[in-house]
Structures are given as C-alpha cells and as structure tokens.
C-alpha cells in the first residue's frame, strides 16, 4: 500500500470510528483543493460524461457547470448515454478536438478503450483532465477521483460488521470495463478475505449500471441462492433495483444492502431500512476540482498528478443530519447538455 | 429511375415564353432525383460551417471521414441485404463479436492472425445468417434478429464481459494511421465502396441481387440459383461487418463486447435516407454513400454547433422519415 492509501484508510476509519459523524456543516466538507483566482482569459473546456441518466453524474455536472461559471470558463458538455457507448464517447472527444477547446475533462466510459483517443487529444495540444472513471491513457494532466479501493473496503467493513463476521454475500459489480467496477469489487473481496474470512461471496455479476439491470440481477440471485445475507453494489444505481427485488421477495431488512453514492432513491431506501449503508462520493466536489485543475493547468500553475476527493459513509445513524450540498445537484437543477 | 432528365430536354424555351423564368419554375425543373441529396449535403455543410468555422478545418474533415468509416462499412453490407429484399439486423452485434474474436486472436496468433480471425468471424456469422435464410427459409428479419442477440451473447461469453486489453501497439495503425493525408479507416471505407459498386454494377452476382430484390419468383424462374446468391449476400454483409469490427477494435485498441449497440439501425437508416427501398430491388451503393454522409455529417456538425445530443436524436429520426416520405411522394407522381 502506498502512502495516500494508508492516509485515506486512516481518514476513512476515523469517519467510521466517529460513528459516521456529519462532516463540517459548511459545504466545504473536505473541499481542500481551493478555487484559483478567476483567469483573465475566457477558456473553453469540454466535459465528457458517461451516463447522465445516473444522478451521480448530474451532481458532477452541476459541479463542473457551477465552478466554471465562478471562474468565467465556458463549458461544452456531452453525454455518452451509457457505459456501452464507447464509440460515441470517442466521436464526442474527436469533435471536441476539432472544436479546438482549451481543455477536456473526461469521465471515461471504458479504461483501455478511450486511451488512444485521449492520447490524440493531447497530441493536438489539448490538456486532458481525467475525473472519476479512469482512462487507460497516461498522458493526462491529473486524475481527480475518490479512491475506489477505499470505497470497496468501507463497504466490506460495514458488511462484515453488520453480518457479525459470518454470512453469504452476492456482488452486483456494475459496468464491465470501468475502473470503478473493477477496483471497488476487487477491494471489497480482498478486504473480506483479510478481515472477515467467514463471510463468503457466493455470486457476482457485472451488468449495465441501471436500476433495471440491478433489479433483474438481484431477482435472479434470490432464485439461485437460498441464503443471501448481504448484497454489495458497485454503484447505487444497481442497489436501487436490488432493494426493490428484496422488498418484493419480502426480505427487506434481512439482506444487508450496501452501495456507492447517494441519489434520492438511495436516501429513501436507507431511511426505510431497506438499504443499510452507502459510501457517498462527493460528486459536486469531483466536478469542481476537475474545473479547478484544468484552470490551474491552463494558467501555468502546478497541478498534482492525483487529486483524491473525500468519501462519506452514510447509514441510518447519520442520515438525519447530512449536508448534501457536496453530494448532489440542487433539487430541480438540470444539466444544460450540449 | 428518375424521369427528370426527360422533362429537362422538354423545357426548351418557346418563343412565346417569358425570357426570364421565375425562380420557382427553375427550381421545380431541376433534376432533384439526381442532385437532391448532394444539394442537401452542401446546404448542411454551409450551415454548420457558418455557425462554427472549425467545421471546415482539415482536422475536422479528417475527423468526420474517420468517424463515418465504421457506419459506411456496415451500411455497404446492409445495402446488399436490403437490395435483395432482405435485411441484416445482426451487423451491430457482429461488431462486438468481431472485436472480441479479433482481440483474442491477436493475443494468441499475433497481428495478422487477429485481423484474419476478426474478418473471418464476420464472414462465418454471415454464412450462418445466409444458410438460415436461404436454406432453412427463415425470414431474414427473424434469422438476423436471432443472430443479433446470439452474437452479442457470444461476444460477452468469450470475453467474460470485460474488455480485452494489451493488443500490440502497431495495430493502432489501422484505426489511427494515415495514407498520405487520408485517415486509413476512410481509405478502407472508400475502397470498400468502390469494390461494392463494381460488384453490384459489373458482376452477375450484382445483377442477381437486384433481380432477387425486385421479384424473387421471376429470378427463380429465369434460372438464378437464388439459394447460392442469397447466402452470398449475407456472407458479404458479414464480411463488411468483419472489416468494420477490426477497424473499430483498432480505434479503441481493445476487444470490446459492448460495441456497436443500435448500429444496425443506423445502417438501415443510411440505406433508406440515401433512397434505397426497404422492400428491395431499388437503391445502390452511391445512394447508400449519400445516406452515410448525411448521418455522419449530422452527428459531427450538430456536436460542433453544440446541439444537445438528445435533440440530435430527434433530428435524425425526423430526417429518416422525411427522406423516405419524399421518395414515396416522387414515386407517386410518376
């Protein structure tokens, strides 16, 4: 383990140890990569998102747009429409190159698949910032993300404790070929083996990251395995479907469902006790930091090679008094998709 | 075929006609059947270029032509299928199957081996389509629908659902390389257009494709080996999907089992926007090229003038319907 992981693990366990205390009330919750001064020139930044039908990316879109407004930056935003549309994201990236934007922020639909197109953008003289979901390209300015391994570990810790160290778990891993599905799932399994050897993973599947896919997958898991004590979810999109499947099977509360992120339905299911916990990424902060990093780079300031955004474990204990301004876009806000 | 040229020769100005014809008369007498599509293309290009001058930049023109090459290749195959009064719904999924086969083949047998296996996988799937349609007499829509689902499943099974990385870097040349100033994928697509044009217009196979599409019974009665040539149609379509899959795999420099979703529908759209008749017998490779150009230029141009990707779908949908409506209207007037 390298230094940042230890540091983040410590940070994460502090949050866990503190009984999931609310983070400081100002929206600055862990927002420790400061906003640079407004540049004299108006830059244009292209933003490529994988799946705007997922509220996680709406929160992030808000971060990009709001931060850009504050820095006088113009944003051109594209949505690939799902992790399966690699060819579309590449076309969008090429169209941004042709539009001669100053910088591109990419949330990659696929690691290896986007590598060459990103390399070409860099060759064309465009700075590329990689946020949230990783591209295979090494030529990017920086990577802005929460630590996916910690997300997996936090879910494993919660699951292990909730099951009192013994039980059978299924995994809804998320979209195949994405860095998050890989790292979170692998870290979850590894942590279980290390800390809770009697908790076993009986089934695991990749699927597209939508509630419909999660519902179908969980229904099938429930048919396949007579005993399921826990369900891990790489993203809360599938967890929402899984929660519905568990509800319909009359097993609500008997299956510990853990997830990542904090969209409105996830909040509702945790409040109702159908879902047990979720590791919330500060999506708005990811967006803000992406634009800040791009601006700093364009203004010839140093940008660290990696920027780790903070995480927050949400469960029944702390859900009542939570500051959601860094987790979600304001209610009713719609991304100006272009 | 259009009757416009005939009418043209009939409009010699008579001595009594006014010397200056009003503009709408001139417009009405233009041979729209032949220049309609190119005129639309020029209008679109001028429109996009006016709003965003970058549209006309060399970077962007290379860009569009590269982006269009995949759709172009599968639309060529689709043209054969539709001309013969069939359809090939499997081409989108075949991109994924070919991509996985090509990547795995490449890791096992090297660069050339992988490319060959990719193209072969496309041909093989096409052969299965063809046999099901021509020999087992399953309607093309159903047979290729089955292949659409099964090929995607096979691609996911072979790859375990995950992308296959670690392909040799030289492979990038196919998707990202240049021949002179031209991107290689565009050159491949252009060559494919020429070959397909010659196949359709200069060979017995081509004539039979039209014959089967216009009236299959008549073709059978005049001694055409319909079974053989039908199978060949789908092998050709599968082969072009195979070539497209290899190019796309190179562009993403990895084997991807999720590639090509809904691409089969865009290939059908390209054929009918160009003026190909969905029931077969009418159309051609030149018309399909027009359809591909319209779709490719639209998606690039609308991105460049920053029209929302959601609105883009509405525009494309409308254009498919309008293009076919205009064709039908012209046909009725004849």
What pLDDT shows up at residue B334? 65
Q: Are A107 and A253 in contact (CB under 8 A)?
A: no
Domain containing residue A253: CATH number: 3.40.50.2300
User: Are the Cβ atoms of A338 and B252 closer than 8 angstroms?
Assistant: no
Q: What is the pLDDT of residues A135-176, one digit of tens each?
A: 999 999 999 999 999 999 999 999 999 999 999 999 999 998
Indicate if A111 and A140 belong to the same structural domain: yes
Indicate if A267 and A254 belong to the same structural domain: yes
Indicate if A72 and A218 belong to the same structural domain: no
Domain that holds residue B271: 70-283
Q: Which token pair is B281?
A: 């017998």
Asked if B237 reaches chain A (Cβ–Cβ under 8 Å), the answer is: no
Mutate to test the interface with A, among B246, B254, B257, B266 (most CBs of A within 10 A): B254
pLDDT band at A228 (very low <50, low <70, confident <90, very high): very high
Indicate if A286 and A142 belong to the same structural domain: yes
Establish if A86 belongs to a structural domain: yes
Query: B303 Cβ partners below 8 Å, 6+ apart?
Result: A78, A91, A92, A95, B309, B312
What pLDDT shows up at residue A23? 39
Establish if B226 belongs to a structural domain: yes
Torsion of CA A51, A52, A58, A63, to 10 degrees: 70
Indicate if A301 and A196 belong to the same structural domain: no
Q: What is the mean pLDDT of residues B218-242?
A: 96
Establish if B140 belongs to a structural domain: yes
Establish if B309 belongs to a structural domain: no
Q: What is the pLDDT of residues B269-306, one digit of tens each?
A: 999 999 899 999 999 999 999 999 999 999 899 988 88
Establish if B153 belongs to a structural domain: yes
Q: How far is A58 from A283, CA to CA, in rounded Å?
A: 9
Indicate if A267 and A162 belong to the same structural domain: yes
Name the more confident of B124 and A16. B124
Q: Does the structure show a pLDDT above 70 at A229?
A: yes
Establish if A120 belongs to a structural domain: yes
Establish if B261 belongs to a structural domain: yes
Query: Which residue has tokens 């404790």?
Result: A161
Establish if A114 belongs to a structural domain: yes
Query: A302 Cβ partners below 8 Å, 6+ apart?
Result: A296
Domain that holds residue A235: 148-280
What pLDDT shows up at residue B12? 47
Mean pLDDT in chain B? 89
Indicate if A135 and A250 belong to the same structural domain: no
What pLDDT shows up at residue A323? 87
Shortest distance, CA A153 to any CA of chain B (angstroms): 22
Q: What is the mean pLDDT of residues B69-85?
A: 97
- HSE (side-chain half, CA atoms, 13 Å) at A336: 11
pTM: 0.80
User: Are the Cβ atoms of A87 and B310 closer than 8 angstroms?
Assistant: no
Which alpha helices (DSSP H) does A196-333 contain, by range?
A: 211-224, 236-248, 264-271, 283-298
Q: Which of B54, B172, B263 sits opposite A98 (nearest CB)?
A: B54
Q: Does the structure show a pLDDT above 80 at B31?
A: no
Indicate if A130 and A203 belong to the same structural domain: no
List CB contacts (< 8 A) between A87 and chain B.
70, 248, 251-252, 259-260, 263
Indicate if A166 and A233 belong to the same structural domain: yes
Q: Which of B57, B258, B303 sits opposite A84 (nearest CB)?
A: B258
Establish if A17 belongs to a structural domain: no
Domain end: A264, A280, A296, which one? Answer: A280
Residue of chain A with shortest Cα separation from B309: A338
Shortest distance, CA B83 to any CA of chain A (angstroms): 28
Establish if B90 belongs to a structural domain: yes
Asked if B307 reaches chain A (Cβ–Cβ under 8 Å), the answer is: yes
Helix or strand run (H / E) with residue A179 = helix A179-195
Indicate if A166 and A142 belong to the same structural domain: no
DSSP state of B194: H
Greatest pairwise CA separation for chain A in angstroms: 64
User: Are the Cβ atoms of B258 and A90 closer than 8 angstroms?
Assistant: no
DSSP code per residue over B52-83: -GGGGSHHHHHHHHHHHHHHHHHHHHHHHHHH
Establish if B228 belongs to a structural domain: yes
C-alpha dihedral sign at B16, B21, B25, B27: positive
What pLDDT shows up at residue B32? 65
Indicate if A159 and A142 belong to the same structural domain: no
User: Are the Cβ atoms of A338 and B63 closer than 8 angstroms?
Assistant: no
Q: What is the mean pLDDT of residues A127-141?
A: 96
Establish if A331 belongs to a structural domain: no
Using DSSP's 3-state secondary structure scheme, residue A131 falls into: strand
Percent of chain A with pLDDT over 90: 83
Q: Supply the ipTM of this predicted assembly.
A: 0.73
What pLDDT shows up at residue B19? 56
Number of domains in chain A: 2
Q: Which range, of A97-111, B124-138, B314-328, averages the lowest pLDDT?
A: B314-328
Establish if B178 belongs to a structural domain: yes
Q: Which of A73, A124, A58 is nearest to A291 (CA)?
A: A73
Indicate if A158 and A130 belong to the same structural domain: no
Number of domains in chain B: 1
What pLDDT shows up at residue B328? 83
Q: Which token pair is B120?
A: 């072969």
Q: Are A97 and A48 in contact (CB under 8 A)?
A: no
Q: Does the structure show a pLDDT above 60 at B22?
A: yes
């Amino acid at each position: 383990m390298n230094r940042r992981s230890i540091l983040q693990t410590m940070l994460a366990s502090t949050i866990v140890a503190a009984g999931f205390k609310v983070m400081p009330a100002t929206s600055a919750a862990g927002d420790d990569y400061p906003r640079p001064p407004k540049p004299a020139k108006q830059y244009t930044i292209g933003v490529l998102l994988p799946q705007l039908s997922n509220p996680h990316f709406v929160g992030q879109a808000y971060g990009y747009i709001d931060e850009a407004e504050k820095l006088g930056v113009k944003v051109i935003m594209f949505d690939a429409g799902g992790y399966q549309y690699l060819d579309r994201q590449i076309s969008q990236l090429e169209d941004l190159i042709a539009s001669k934007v100053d910088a591109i922020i990419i949330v990659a639909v696929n690691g290896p698949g986007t590598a060459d197109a990103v390399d070409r953008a860099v060759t064309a003289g465009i700075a590329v910032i990689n946020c949230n979901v990783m591209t295979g390209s090494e030529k990017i300015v920086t990577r802005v993300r929460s630590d996916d391994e910690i997300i997996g570990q936090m879910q494993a810790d919660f699951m292990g404790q909730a099951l009192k160290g013994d039980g059978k778990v299924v995994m809804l891993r998320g979209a195949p070929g994405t860095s998050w599905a890989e790292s979170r799932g692998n870290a979850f399994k590894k942590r279980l083996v290390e800390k809770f050897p009697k908790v076993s993973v009986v089934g695991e599947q990749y699927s597209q990251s939508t509630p419909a896919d999660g519902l179908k997958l969980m229904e099938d898991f429930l048919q396949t395995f007579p005993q399921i004590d826990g369900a891990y979810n790489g993203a809360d999109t599938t967890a929402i479907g899984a929660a519905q499947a568990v509800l319909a099977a009359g097993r609500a509360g008997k299956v510990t469902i853990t997830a990542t992120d904090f969209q409105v339905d996830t909040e509702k299911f945790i409040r109702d006790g159908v879902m047990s916990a979720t590791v919330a990424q500060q999506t708005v902060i990811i967006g803000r930091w992406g634009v800040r990093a791009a601006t700093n780079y364009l203004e010839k300031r140093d940008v660290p090679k990696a920027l780790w955004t903070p995480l927050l474990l949400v469960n029944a204990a702390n859900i009542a008094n939570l500051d959601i301004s860094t987790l979600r876009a304001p209610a009713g806000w719609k991304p100006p998709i272009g | 075929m259009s009757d416009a040229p005939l009418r043209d020769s009939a409009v010699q100005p008579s001595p009594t006609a006014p010397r200056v014809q009003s503009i709408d008369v001139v417009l009405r007498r233009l041979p729209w059947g032949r220049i309609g599509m190119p005129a639309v293309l020029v209008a679109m290009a001028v429109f996009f270029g006016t709003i965003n001058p970058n549209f006309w930049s060399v970077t962007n023109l290379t860009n569009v032509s590269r982006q269009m090459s995949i759709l172009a290749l599968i639309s060529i195959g689709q043209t054969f299928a539709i001309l013969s009064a069939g359809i090939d719904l499997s081409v989108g999924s075949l991109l994924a199957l070919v991509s996985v086969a090509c990547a795995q083949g490449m890791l096992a047998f090297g660069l050339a081996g992988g490319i060959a296996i990719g193209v072969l996988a496309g041909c093989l799937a096409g052969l299965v389509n063809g046999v099901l349609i021509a020999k087992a007499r399953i309607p093309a829509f159903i047979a290729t629908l089955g292949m659409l689902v099964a090929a995607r499943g096979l691609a996911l099974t072979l790859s375990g659902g995950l992308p296959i990385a670690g392909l040799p870097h030289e492979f990038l040349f196919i998707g990202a390389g240049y021949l002179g100033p031209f991107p290689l994928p565009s050159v491949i697509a252009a060559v494919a257009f020429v070959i397909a044009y010659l196949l359709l217009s200069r060979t017995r196979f081509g004539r039979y494709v039209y014959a089967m599409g216009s009236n299959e019974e008549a073709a059978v009665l005049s001694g055409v080996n319909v079974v053989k040539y039908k199978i060949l149609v789908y092998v050709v379509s599968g082969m072009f999907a195979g070539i497209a899959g290899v190019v796309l795999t190179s562009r993403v420099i990895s084997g991807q089992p999720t590639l090509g979703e809904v691409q089969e529908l865009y290939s059908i759209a390209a054929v009918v926007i160009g003026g190909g008749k969905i029931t077969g017998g009418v159309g051609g490779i030149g018309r399909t090229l027009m359809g591909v150009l319209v779709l490719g230029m639209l998606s690039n141009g609308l991105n460049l003038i920053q029209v929302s990707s959601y609105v883009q779908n509405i525009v494309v949908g409308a254009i498919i319907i309008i293009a076919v409506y205009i064709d039908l209207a012209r046909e009725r007037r004849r």
